[in-house]
């Protein structure tokens, strides 16, 4: 039974203000360690201060909004998500988890409910790796786990380093580089992240919420390229061409066939070529293309499956390079580990949903989330998905606020049960 109704009026106001201040003319853009993310963090920090919550940040500028409990020595219950977005993204991806946590604590404040444990809403920085080629930058930094070289990675649009952006925003990159941790696993009772579902499963099934069983890991080549040779489109016979577009198309087709074959064998996997482009300064309709740049994104809950598909990628790159007389350079690889969500929290969430008459299903997450990093530290972690229309990472993202309210009540019940 819900102890106090979450403050849904506050949630609505925060969503409206987030959209207003980050609308880019098409979607919303809240750039990691940039003006968009910074404004969002300021907005929720101000809302937390108005609720008389404790407000703190760490060296990486992760934000912690805490309702203190009666036993300050007990391990804290945590919830939250991220506030950054992809370029021209949607308003709810990430932000829904932070707003839900604040709505819960605001409702408790109004009702005078005081938990035994501290309850903290975390607004985590730089979850979207569209800006910096680093997975879970903010949550890794919170635990002192961000690789020092990650601070030297450059942002896709500015070409400036993560350290520079962090310092400019008021953070302490030297402390992050030194591995100074703000969070400790033994001081956290659990972490529960509410997030919109980023696919169509809940919507098509008629379910309102999903209880996540596990989060996929990834293997990525963000800056792959096929180097051929530019040539005249009319004067160069097929036998003399080193066509980068044809070779890239063959590579994509080959890997699609490998994906289909692995799925038929029972492997859970996704494969995406999110970037694929010729050089706009050299490519022309009357030229054979000499260069294609592209990306490969593989995801699975099984590292063995990722390794198997990765081997197929390298084999196909070598074979097609030789066949088409081009060079296939996959570039640097980046990866993130898969994570399993806590079984007891899954059961508690499904039981609470059933008792409340909420249509829910257990389901995996194909996308990465900060909850995976918490789980990797041995912290009991869980995720609540809220159905939404049109997926995510696009301007048409559309979560019904009635569904958000149902999921937020489920979050409130679970947090209250853990916090005591």
* Contacts for 281 with CB less than 8 Å, ≥ 6 apart: none
Computed over every residue of the chain, the mean pLDDT equals 96
- At 312-353, the pLDDT tens digits run 999 999 999 999 999 999 999 988 888 999 999 999 999 999
Q: Is residue 118 part of a domain?
A: yes
Q: Is residue 1 part of a domain?
A: no
Q: Is residue 27 part of a domain?
A: yes
Q: Is residue 2 part of a domain?
A: no
Residues 348 and 312 in one domain: no
Average pLDDT over residues 115-120: 98
Q: How many domains does the chain have?
A: 2
Residues 347 and 327 in one domain: no
Per-residue CA distances from 134 to 32, 202, 224 (Å): 11, 29, 17
Dump the DSSP string for 354-409. Answer: HHTT--EEEEEESS--HHHHHHHTT--EEEEEE--BT-SSSTT-B--HHHHHHHHH
| Angstrom distance (rounded) from CA 129 to CA 136 | 8
Residues 40 and 13 in one domain: yes
Binding site listing for Zn(2+): 82, 93, 128, 195, 393
**Paired tokens of 201:** 């499963």
- At 181-197, the pLDDT tens digits run 999 999 999 999 999 99
Q: Is residue 3 part of a domain?
A: no
Residues 22 and 107 in one domain: yes
Asked whether the CA dihedral 345, 350, 354, 357 is positive or negative, the reply is positive
* Contacts for 23 with CB less than 8 Å, ≥ 6 apart: none
Residues 24 and 127 in one domain: yes
CATH of the domain at 131: 3.40.630.10
Q: At which of 336, 368, 392 does a domain end?
A: 336
Residues 178 and 64 in one domain: yes
Q: Is residue 269 part of a domain?
A: yes
Q: Is residue 206 part of a domain?
A: yes
What separation, in Å, do the N-terminal and C-terminal C-alpha atoms of the chain show? 13
Residues 14 and 115 in one domain: yes
Residue 166 has pLDDT above 70, yes or no: yes
Domain that holds residue 150: 8-216+339-419
Per-residue CA distances from 209 to 14, 352, 382 (Å): 22, 12, 13
Average pLDDT over residues 373-387: 97
| CB-based burial, 345-373: b 16+ in 10 Å, e otherwise | bbebbbebbeeeebebbebbbbbbbbbbb
Q: At which of 301, 336, 371 does a domain end?
A: 336
Average pLDDT over residues 414-419: 97
Q: At which of 279, 301, 336 does a domain end?
A: 336
Residues 261 and 345 in one domain: no
Q: What are phi and psi of 183, to 5 degrees?
A: -105, 145
Residues 413 and 287 in one domain: no
CATH of the domain at 281: 3.30.70.360
**What pLDDT was estimated at residue 206?**
96
Residues 59 and 160 in one domain: yes
* CA count, 13 A, side-chain hemisphere, 167: 11
Residues 262 and 353 in one domain: no
**What pLDDT was estimated at residue 1?**
57
| Angstrom distance (rounded) from CA 182 to CA 180 | 7
Q: Is residue 276 part of a domain?
A: yes
Binding site listing: 82, 93, 128, 195, 393
Residues 265 and 240 in one domain: yes
Percent of the chain whose pLDDT exceeds 90: 96
- At 225-261, the pLDDT tens digits run 999 999 999 999 999 999 999 999 999 999 999 999 9
Dump the DSSP string for 234-278. Answer: TTS-GGG---HHHHHHHHHHHHHHHHHHHHHTT---EEE---EEE
| Angstrom distance (rounded) from CA 4 to CA 305 | 44
């Amino acid at each position: 039974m819900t102890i106090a109704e979450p403050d849904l009026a506050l949630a609505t106001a925060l969503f409206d203000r987030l959209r207003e201040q980050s609308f880019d003319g098409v979607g919303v853009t809240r750039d990691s360690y940039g003006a968009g993310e910074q404004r969002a963090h300021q907005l929720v920090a101000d809302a937390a201060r108005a609720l008389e919550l404790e407000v703190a940040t760490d060296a990486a500028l992760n934000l912690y909004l805490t309702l203190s409990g009666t036993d300050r020595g007990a391990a804290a219950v945590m919830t939250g998500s991220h506030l950054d977005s992809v370029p021209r993204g949607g308003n709810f991806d990430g932000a829904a988890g932070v707003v839900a946590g604040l709505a819960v604590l605001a409702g408790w404040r109004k009702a005078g409910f005081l938990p035994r444990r501290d309850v903290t809403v975390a607004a985590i920085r730089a979850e979207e790796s569209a800006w910096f080629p680093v997975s879970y930058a903010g949550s890794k930094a919170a635990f002192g786990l961000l690789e020092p070289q990650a601070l030297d990675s450059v942002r896709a649009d500015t070409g400036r380093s993560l350290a520079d952006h962090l310092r400019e925003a008021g953070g302490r990159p030297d402390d992050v580089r030194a591995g100074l941790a703000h969070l400790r696993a033994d001081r956290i009772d659990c972490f529960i992240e509410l997030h919109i579902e980023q696919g169509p499963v809940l919507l098509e099934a008629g379910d309102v919420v999903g209880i996540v069983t596990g989060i996929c890991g990834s293997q990525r080549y963000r800056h792959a390229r096929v180097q051929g040779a530019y040539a005249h489109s009319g004067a160069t016979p097929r036998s003399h061409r080193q066509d980068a577009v044809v070779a890239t198309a063959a590579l994509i087709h080959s890997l699609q066939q490998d994906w289909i074959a692995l799925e038929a064998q029972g492997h859970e996997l996704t494969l995406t070529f999110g970037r694929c482009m010729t050089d706009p300064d050299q490519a022309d309709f009357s030229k054979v293309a000499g260069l294609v740049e592209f990306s490969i994104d593989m995801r699975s809950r099984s590292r063995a499956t990722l390794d198997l598909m990765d081997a197929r990628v390298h084999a196909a790159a070598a074979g097609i390079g030789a066949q088409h007389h081009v060079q296939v350079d996959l570039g640097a690889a980046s990866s993130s580990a898969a994570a399993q969500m806590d079984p007891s929290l899954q059961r508690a969430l499904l039981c609470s949903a059933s008792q409340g008459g909420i249509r829910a299903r257990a389901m995996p997450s194909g996308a990465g989330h900060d909850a995976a990093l918490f789980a990797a530290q041995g912290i009991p972690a869980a995720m609540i998905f809220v159905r939404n229309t049109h997926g995510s990472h696009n301007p048409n993202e559309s979560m019904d606020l009635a569904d958000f309210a149902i999921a937020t009540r489920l979050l409130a019940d679970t947090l209250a049960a853990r916090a005591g």
